[in-house]
Chain A
Amino acid sequence: MRVYLDNNATTIVDPHVFEAMEPFFVQKYGNPNSLHQFASDTHKPLKEAMQKIYAGINAKNEDSVVITSCATESNNWVLKSIYFEYILTGRKNHIIVSEVEHPSVIATAKFLESKGCKVTYLPINNEGIVEAHTVRDFITDKTALVSIMWVNNETGAIFPIEEIGEICASKGVLFHTDAVQAIGKLPVNVQKANIDYLTMSAHKFHGPKGVGALYMKKGKELTPLLHGGSQMNGFRSGTLNVAGIVGMGKAMEQAIDALDFEISEVKELRDRLEDALLEIPDTFVVTPRSKRAANTILVSFRGIEGEAMLWDLNRANIAASTGSACASEDLESNPVMEAIGAEADLAHTAIRFSLSRYTTSEEIDYTIEVVKNAVNRLRAISSSYAYAPEGHESKL
């Protein structure tokens, strides 16, 4: 059995999505901006796909949902354009992000900091959540932008986006949310949440890799990051990724259709896995279930380094993830574990399981069995559970 529980990293492409994309490689391969039938063949499918993407987040027709190459591009675009328009011109000097944003926000914010922009990194509370009042506390009359993710990729924690949107609107500050982990997991409504900019990525909801989008509210359009042939109304030049856009549209439609399934059936499987994991001694899960996306568990097994656990899971053909030390190529511990104030000894023990609507009950049963065996094996090796003679002083 091969079990894929790393759906917050990427997802399997929905077969219907794959099918919808196929004609646009060897049959309808025209450039939509050309003036001939090959181009015209793409127009209707592209329009339908765009309508599905708009509908999926309740965007108005006069708003702009610009297709990009990925969420990283969308996030970079927002922060850098705000820098060009507001910071560099001296109108404002400050942006606010949370300390647990995706690297495409954090690293961009740090880059802008090096260029003279002031950045506030909002803390999360011990449930892994950014509290809305902290946004209010840090907004000044020089704040140009607040950028807070909708759902955290590590923990699945849902942030109070509607409240934050309201605060930003009342203070006249632009509000961006990275909704990459929210689409298909909970209802996303840009009108209701007072959102000016919203980032999404097709491959996180069973669409293809290489396609993202940025929603921009009417009147809040950003300066382009990519200049060129004026595609996408000049907001984002570059030949349209026809197959990718069609795939994203289909994936969005499927994700919206599957939303009820996600918050009932997927949640049930997730809860069953989580209950079983919590039966293992010295184990804890970050963020209460009621405040988390239905598919995610960030669990800590005391005494087991994250990469060692991934190793044993991988040997049993189970894919999971860790943001901690060894698996990512740097040596940092999991930033969320540090931010929630978990014991220092647990900083390197976090494992993320993220399910999807393709996860089966059998896969969960198998995973529970494998995890239990791995915990037993690795704790037998672990120095955290080792014999010491009387009077042994373990600290250096």
Chain B
Amino acid sequence: MGIDSLIGGTIWDQYSEKVTCLMNNPQNMGEITQEQADAMGAKLIVADFGAESCGDAVRLYWAVDPKTDVILESKFKSFGCGTAIASSDTMAELCKGKTVDEAIKITNIDVEKAMRDTPDVPAVPPQKMHCSVMAYDVIKKAAALYKGVDMESFEHEIIVCECARVSLSTLREVIRLNDLTSIEQITDYTKAGAFCKSCIRPGGHEAKDIYLVDLLEEYQKEKLAKQADSSYDAPFAQMTIVQRLKAVEKVIDDNIRQMLIMDGGNIEILDIKENGANFDIYIRYLGACSGCASSSTGTLFAIESILKEKLDQNIRVIPL
């Protein structure tokens, strides 16, 4: 709202340089044929997501080593706008060299972050976020094909937005991961609700079992419930990965981040992995922190201590 919202047509001004470059010269655009896959001794996976009639469609090609599950080559073709093409390109790049199981963990946020010029400036405006969500969905589709999950299982998913074919599980996940609080945001991220609008709330031309407003309400209740018992702190070990990330973010926000920002730096939580009895938290220093001598000694010690104290004694912090 306010001054920045009054003059339209600024979508392209908000693209990062990387998005612009990838649109102009996509690096992984192309196909993998059956012959090429055979020559690599690889299994060819061809996955489609989206539809031209909805404005975005992507086809992902993987050549996967059947012995190691490693994605040897990854290419895409895309019907869509500049950000759809750039997101698909980035997604294909992120898949390369990963195992199929690792690739499934790539999220739309990873895709978007990889297209940023600077860590704290989004690569695309919010109404273009749905392009990266599609890039993330097609990976899951490809992985399902590789693992031989029955195609029919997709049809049995509960689809909340038929027009954009957005499933209940995708919606729940995207709402949680991105902390969405409005219908407009859901539409920006997933395209759900952009078309016939009957999935937004009761009263549209088609009756639904569950509406987007219900999902927002469900998430808000969940958040409130979590806030209510945060004073008792569920054991870190019993949290889901999303809860763990949120818990770590909260401890950093409450105790560390302000100090780092005052010194012209910042920190980004990249991942949390269980390593035997330990929880390895991978972080990246930003701004003045990266390269600061204290980042591998005093600051690191402080971050690790507070996380151990607040969350779990088995936490280890590993800067990348």
Interface string of A375-395 (1 = CB under 8 A from B): 000001111111111101111
Q: Which of B8-33 contact A (CB under 8 A)?
A: 8-9, 11-12, 23-24, 26, 29, 31, 33
Contact B151 A393 (CB under 8 A): yes
Chain A residues within 8 Å of B171, by CB: none
Complex interface: stretch among A96-104, A182-190, A289-297, A325-333? A325-333
Interface string of A346-388 (1 = CB under 8 A from B): 1111000000000000000000000000000000111111111
| Known contacts A331-B187, A347-B53; is-contact A383 B33 (Cβ 8 Å) | no
Contact B48 A390 (CB under 8 A): no
Q: How far is the CB of A102 from chain B (nearest CB, A)?
A: 16
| Known contacts A311-B82, A396-B48; is-contact A382 B77 (Cβ 8 Å) | yes
Contact A389 B53 (CB under 8 A): no
| Distance of A326 Cα from B23 Cα, bound (Å) | 15
Chain A residues within 8 Å of B135, by CB: none
**Is there a chain A Cβ closer than 8 Å to B268's Cβ?**
no
Contact A308 B81 (CB under 8 A): yes
Contact A383 B191 (CB under 8 A): no
Interface string of B64-106 (1 = CB under 8 A from A): 0000000000001111111111000000000000000000000
**Is there a chain B Cβ closer than 8 Å to A345's Cβ?**
yes
| Distance of A393 Cα from B46 Cα, bound (Å) | 9
**Is there a chain B Cβ closer than 8 Å to A307's Cβ?**
yes
**Is there a chain B Cβ closer than 8 Å to A303's Cβ?**
yes
| Distance of A389 Cα from B194 Cα, bound (Å) | 33
Chain A residues within 8 Å of B151, by CB: 393
Q: Which of A329-345 contact B (CB under 8 A)?
A: 329-333, 344-345
**Is there a chain A Cβ closer than 8 Å to B312's Cβ?**
no
Q: How far is the CB of B64 from chain A (nearest CB, A)?
A: 14
**Is there a chain A Cβ closer than 8 Å to B57's Cβ?**
yes
**Is there a chain B Cβ closer than 8 Å to A324's Cβ?**
yes
| Distance of A349 Cα from B155 Cα, bound (Å) | 28
**Is there a chain B Cβ closer than 8 Å to A133's Cβ?**
no
Contact A396 B154 (CB under 8 A): yes
Chain B residues within 8 Å of A36, by CB: none
**Is there a chain B Cβ closer than 8 Å to A44's Cβ?**
no
| Known contacts A311-B82, A383-B58; is-contact A388 B46 (Cβ 8 Å) | yes
Interface centre among B79, B80, B83 (most CB of A within 10 A): B79
| Known contacts A311-B81, A381-B85, A396-B165; is-contact A389 B55 (Cβ 8 Å) | no
Chain A residues within 8 Å of B23, by CB: 308, 311
Q: How far is the CB of A308 from chain B (nearest CB, A)?
A: 5
**Is there a chain A Cβ closer than 8 Å to B316's Cβ?**
no
Contact A383 B78 (CB under 8 A): yes
| Distance of A345 Cα from B54 Cα, bound (Å) | 8
Contact A303 B79 (CB under 8 A): yes
Q: How far is the CB of A72 from chain B (nearest CB, A)?
A: 14
**Is there a chain B Cβ closer than 8 Å to A305's Cβ?**
yes
Contact B49 A396 (CB under 8 A): yes
| Distance of A344 Cα from B52 Cα, bound (Å) | 8
Count residues on chain A whose CB falls below 8 Å from chain B CBs: 39
Chain A residues within 8 Å of B79, by CB: 303-305, 382-384
Contact A305 B58 (CB under 8 A): no
Chain B residues within 8 Å of A307, by CB: 81-82
| Distance of A329 Cα from B10 Cα, bound (Å) | 9
Contact B78 A390 (CB under 8 A): no
| Known contacts A305-B84, A331-B194; is-contact A383 B55 (Cβ 8 Å) | no
Chain B residues within 8 Å of A306, by CB: 81
What is the predominant secondary structure among interface residues of chain A facing chain B?
loop
Contact B48 A394 (CB under 8 A): yes
| Distance of A349 Cα from B108 Cα, bound (Å) | 25
Residue of B nearest to A348 (CB): B55
Q: How far is the CB of A391 from chain B (nearest CB, A)?
A: 10
| Distance of A306 Cα from B84 Cα, bound (Å) | 12
Contact A344 B84 (CB under 8 A): no
| Distance of A349 Cα from B53 Cα, bound (Å) | 9
| Known contacts A329-B8, A395-B48; is-contact A386 B80 (Cβ 8 Å) | no
Contact A331 B154 (CB under 8 A): no
Contact B52 A345 (CB under 8 A): yes
| Distance of A381 Cα from B46 Cα, bound (Å) | 16
| Distance of A304 Cα from B85 Cα, bound (Å) | 11
| Distance of A240 Cα from B182 Cα, bound (Å) | 43
| Known contacts A347-B53, A395-B48; is-contact A386 B59 (Cβ 8 Å) | yes
Q: How far is the CB of B274 from chain A (nearest CB, A)?
A: 34
Q: How far is the CB of B257 from chain A (nearest CB, A)?
A: 33
Contact B82 A308 (CB under 8 A): yes
Contact A384 B33 (CB under 8 A): no
Contact B53 A387 (CB under 8 A): no
Interface centre among B24, B34, B54, B80 (most CB of A within 10 A): B80
Residue of B nearest to A309 (CB): B81
Interface centre among B29, B77, B154 (most CB of A within 10 A): B77
Contact A330 B29 (CB under 8 A): no
Residue of B nearest to A388 (CB): B46
Q: Which of B133-156 contact A (CB under 8 A)?
A: 141, 151, 154-155
Chain B residues within 8 Å of A329, by CB: 8-9, 11, 127
| Distance of A306 Cα from B48 Cα, bound (Å) | 20
Residue of A nearest to B45 (CB): A389
Which residue of B8, B29, B191 is within 8 Å of A331 (Cβ)?
A: B191
Chain B residues within 8 Å of A315, by CB: 24
Chain A residues within 8 Å of B51, by CB: 345, 396
Contact B11 A326 (CB under 8 A): yes
| Distance of A308 Cα from B15 Cα, bound (Å) | 14
A381-B85, A383-B57, A390-B34 known; 8 new pairs, CB 8 Å cut-off, are A303-B52, A308-B23, A311-B23, A326-B55, A329-B127, A344-B53, A349-B52, A384-B79
Q: Which residues of A contact B (CB under 8 A)?
A: 303-308, 311, 315, 324-327, 329-333, 344-349, 380-390, 392-396
Q: Give me 7 A-to-B residue pairs in the complex whose CB atoms sit less than 8 angstroms apart, sorted by A's number.
A: A306-B81, A331-B191, A332-B195, A348-B53, A383-B77, A389-B44, A396-B48
List 9 tightest A-B contacts by C-beta distance, closest first: A344-B53, A307-B81, A386-B77, A331-B194, A325-B55, A387-B31, A326-B81, A383-B77, A345-B52
